[in-house]
Amino acid sequence: MKTLKDLGDLKGKRVLVRADFNVPLDGATITDDGRIKAALPTINALRDEGAKVILMAHLGRPKGKVVPELSLAPVAARLGELLGVAVPLAADTYGDDAKAKVSAMSDGDVVLLQNVRFNPEETSKDAQERAAYAKRIAALGDVFVSDGFGVVHRAQGSNYDVAADLPSAAGLLVEKEVKALSHATVNPERPLTVVLGGSKVSDKLGVIENLLDKANRLVIGGGMVFTFLKAKGYAVGSSLLEEDQLEKVKGYIDTAKQRGVELILPTDIVVNAGFPAGDTPIDPQVVPADAIPEDRMGLDIGPESARLFHDAIVDSKTVVWNGPMGVFEVPQFAEGTRAVAQALVDATAKGAFTIVGGGDSASAVRNLGFPEDGFSHISTGGGASLEFLEGKTLPGLEVLN
């Protein structure tokens, strides 16, 4: 994979950078700027070389239409604060305003193009349509840098097709992500413990199948655990359950046993009368994992499980975590996720290589107040990191080879 050093002298060059600025918003307020901060090393490296940095990114799912609420204006403002320079936002992606703002750039300047997903061609399934659109964007630059790891698992106009029109390379963030995830999956230091959570087993099928060949321990929590508990014959009350995955999960349990992979499931669960929303009261109770009442919903792992998970993680040399242990947005159901995050911090302090696998896990560690340097790596790509862990070929990386 080509990297920045393969692009040669960039002084005065117009460098198109595909970043991942798909940040969570509360109105016009960014609630987690982690992805913007993750792009700073590449942006600053290019500015230091005297390049003209032209950034492109998406926000949300406007589905090919201009949606004012999904403008990148809040991102341009926050990025300007972090860089200490003005970051003009073009009114379009490749039109007259984008061309004018790029033409006015001096060496070291930064411009942000408007949300690429305002253009229907960005995510078109028609390769020719997408390629023609990409050429219009490519005309703004001299070289292309792919630094939006969160989108490299998709073949889209601004991260895949543009690379066919310009000299291209991975940015520092993409390079860092690939090295970190490879560190954990290619000859990792052992024991290797994989911690999976989140709502659905179906979201993690490929990861489980791929890592059952590699992991020493598989630790399961979150909403997906109830399909595992049901597969073991336990009643799960009104908890989230994927009936259509039960046979597959039974197969995973058998395979783990045959291959000597330690499968660690919760021994206790924090339950509630239902999901904490609307008129449903918050009344958490701890029950054994094999005795969830019929009228209760599991929303977190219990304190005994938290200690069990902590001990397994701290006893590891490599840890990959993807998915919260419960409904961490509600304080009463956040303790399992907090315990896993703390276990990774403790393992890191003991010399383990630890990865927080993006998406909700990354948001959780920040929202729960954990320092980012407490982990070896926090991925910026939820879906991309999952597909990497599944062993899939990622188009946005393959095109850089």
Kindly list the catalytic residues.
35, 200, 359, 383
Can you list the alpha helix ranges (DSSP code H) found in 6-126?
A: 34-48, 73-83, 96-103
User: Annotated binding residue at 20?
Assistant: yes
Residue 59, sorted as left (phi over 0), alpha (psi -120 to 50) or beta, turns out to be beta
User: Annotated binding residue at 323?
Assistant: no
Q: Is the dihedral of CA 363, 369, 371, 375 positive or negative?
A: negative
Amino acid at 75: V
User: Annotated binding residue at 398?
Assistant: no
User: Annotated binding residue at 64?
Assistant: no
User: Annotated binding residue at 360?
Assistant: yes
Pairing of strands 143-146, 168-170: parallel
What is the rounded distance in angstroms from the CA atom of residue 43 to the CA atom of residue 108?
9
User: Annotated binding residue at 61?
Assistant: yes
User: Annotated binding residue at 21?
Assistant: yes
User: Annotated binding residue at 58?
Assistant: yes
Neighbours of 103 (CB within 10 A): 9
What is the rounded distance in angstroms from the CA atom of residue 93 to the CA atom of residue 18?
12
User: Annotated binding residue at 35?
Assistant: yes
Give the residues across from 196 on adjacent strands. 220, 322
Pairing of strands 52-56, 14-18: parallel
Structure tokens at 357: 């696998």
Structure tokens at 11: 């002084």
Q: Is the dihedral of CA 239, 244, 245, 250 positive or negative?
A: positive
Classified as helix, coil or strand, 295 is coil
Pairing of strands 262-264, 217-220: parallel
User: Annotated binding residue at 361?
Assistant: yes
User: Annotated binding residue at 226?
Assistant: no
Amino acid at 319: V
User: Annotated binding residue at 213?
Assistant: no
User: Annotated binding residue at 223?
Assistant: no
Q: Is the dihedral of CA 226, 230, 234, 237 positive or negative?
A: positive
- Which helix (H) or strand (E) segment holds residue 262: the answer is strand 262-264
- Residues making up the binding site for (2R)-3-phosphoglycerate: 35, 117, 154
- Residues making up the binding site for substrate: 20-22, 35, 58-61, 117, 154
- Residues making up the binding site for ATP: 204, 298, 329, 358-361
- Residues making up the binding site: 20-22, 35, 58-61, 117, 154, 204, 298, 329, 358-361
